[in-house]
Amino acid sequence: MIASVLLQGTDGLRAQAEIFNEIFSVFLGLGTLIGVIVVSYMLWNAYKYRDDGSEPKESFDPPVLGELPTGKGGPKAKKLFLSFGLSAIVVISLVVYAYGLLLVVEQGPDAPGVESADMEVDVVGYQFGWEFQYPNGVTTQNTLYVPEDSAIELRVTSRDVWHTFGVTDLRIKSDAIPGDYSETWFTTDGEDLASGEERTHQIECFELCGSGHSYMTGEIVVMDDQDFNTWYDEQAAALENESDGSGAATNGTDSGNGMENATNAMTAQGVEA
């Protein structure tokens, strides 16, 4: 369900969800396999060598009370090093493999050879909600509107305590730390939306931030290109009217930081439709 929506990627850019799903299945498969082997081996030996009351074999040489421990060498020690060597190979391969895909996630739309980000949005967490600041100065609360078929970069921060911005079905997450900007990105590719159609993703807070933590949710709304552009321009116009007019810093969707955000916003790069 998630996969069908998100797996295609934009122009060579693999969605984080796709990369996550790949690594997760590799780790889960390998982990389950190793876990099952080790646990079965352990249970089987525990059963096989249980004390069933029979006479002990001659080779059985239990430790005696008060002896200085010597440990045990021989074939068992060889087996120990063999198993250790095998697990080292598995672990080192996993590190190398995971590192390769980490680079893809870290670079995201900044990587060479993929299309660069279509829009950058600042995300500001606060007790208890999310504010989104668009390049043209428009701000929204708790709902992030984005156009379809684009790569979106988010710069996440907080204006009070430590929050964590996360969208489970897009498999993206970023800490929102006061005084600091951390970045993440996602793509909105998928089945084409008709005009008026929307696709939504749930935003949640993943770091305990106070009494309202459980309710600190929001939505990402993916819109049809045309719809988004119309909405975006309307918001910008409304913002302009208000700053030309009374100077009262409110607009259709914002709660009062419009003016400030308009001046603070990053250099507008527009939305490439």
Partner 1 sequence: MSELPPKTSLRRWFVTTNHKDVGILYTITALFFLIMGGMLALLIRFQLWEPGAQFLSEIAYNEAVTTHGLVMVFWFLSPFGFGFANYFVPLQIGADDLAFPRLNALSYWMYALSGILLGISYFQGGTLSTGWTMYAPLNVPMYTPSLGSTGAILALAMFVIGITASTINFLTTIHHSRAEGMGLMDMPLFTWSILATVYMMLFAFAALLAVALILLSDRILGSIYFSATEGGALLWGHLFWFFGHPEVYIVFFPALGVMLELFQSFSGNRLVGRKWVIIAICLISIQSFLVWTHHMFLTTINLEVKTLMMATSIGISLPFDLVVFSLIYTLIKGRIKFTTPFLFAFGALLLFIVGGITGVFLGAIVLDYEFRGTYWVVAHFHYVMFGGATALFGGIYYWFPKMSGKMYDEFLGKVHFVIFFIGFNAVYFSMFLAWETPRRVFEYDPAFQPMHQFGTIGAVVLGLSFFIMFYNFAKSYVSGPDAPDNPWEYTRTAEWAVSSPPPLENWGGRPSYASGKLEFVSEALTPSDDHDGPAAATDGGHGEGHGDDHIESYPYWDKHASHASIWPFALSLATGIFFFGLSGVSSSIDITTADTLFGTGITVSNPVYPVFTALGLLGIIWTAVKWGLEDFYAPPMEIAERWPFEGVEKVKLGMWFFLASDVIVFGAFISAAVFIRVAAGWYTWEPLTDSLPGLINTFVLLTSSFTVILALVYARRKSRKGLIAYLSATILLGLTFLSIKMWEWHHEIYDVGVTLTQNSHGDPVQATIYYVTTGLHGLHVVIGLLIAGFLLVRAWNGAYQEDPRPVEYFGLYWHFVDIVWVILFPLFYLF
Residues within window 198-227 making contact with partner 1, judged by CB under 8 A = 204-215, 217
* β-bridge partners, 184: 154
Residue from 7, 181, 229, 250 that binds partner 1 (CB under 8 A)? 181
Is 244 an interacting residue with respect to partner 1 (CB under 8 A)?
A: no
Minimum CB separation from partner 1 for residue 234, in Å? 33
Is 7 an interacting residue with respect to partner 1 (CB under 8 A)?
A: no
Q: Determine the size of the site formed for partner 1 (CB under 8 A).
A: 84
Rg (CA), the chain: 28
Which window, 143-151, 168-176, 242-250, 256-264, contacts partner 1 (CB under 8 A)? Answer: 168-176
Estimate to the nearest angstrom the gap between the alpha carbon of 80 and the chain centroid: 38
Q: How far apart are CA 159 and CA 173, in angstroms?
A: 18
Minimum CB separation from partner 1 for residue 218, in Å? 13
Contact between residue 205 and residue 214 where contact means Cβ atoms under 8 Å apart: no
- Lookup: tokens for 110: 């900044």
Phi-psi sector, 240: left (phi>0), alpha (psi -120 to 50), beta: alpha
Residue from 1, 12, 58, 69 that binds partner 1 (CB under 8 A)? 69
Q: How far apart are CA 228 and CA 272, in angstroms?
A: 11
Is 49 an interacting residue with respect to partner 1 (CB under 8 A)?
A: yes
Question: Which residue's CB is nearer to partner 1, number 63 or number 245?
Answer: 63
Is 59 an interacting residue with respect to partner 1 (CB under 8 A)?
A: yes
Phi-psi sector, 52: left (phi>0), alpha (psi -120 to 50), beta: alpha
Residue from 11, 180, 191, 233 that binds partner 1 (CB under 8 A)? 180
Is 266 an interacting residue with respect to partner 1 (CB under 8 A)?
A: no
Residue from 118, 120, 148, 175 that binds partner 1 (CB under 8 A)? 175
Residue from 3, 72, 237, 256 that binds partner 1 (CB under 8 A)? 72
Q: Distance of CA 241 to CAs 67, 221, 228, 255, Å?
A: 89, 25, 20, 16
Is 1 an interacting residue with respect to partner 1 (CB under 8 A)?
A: no
Is 13 an interacting residue with respect to partner 1 (CB under 8 A)?
A: no
Is 67 an interacting residue with respect to partner 1 (CB under 8 A)?
A: yes
Residues 6+ apart with CB under 8 A from 228: 145, 146, 147, 148, 271
Q: Give residues 75-114 in contact with partner 1 (rule: CB under 8 A).
A: 76-77, 79-81, 83-84, 87-88, 91, 94-95, 98-99, 101-102, 105-106
Contact between residue 173 and residue 184 where contact means Cβ atoms under 8 Å apart: yes
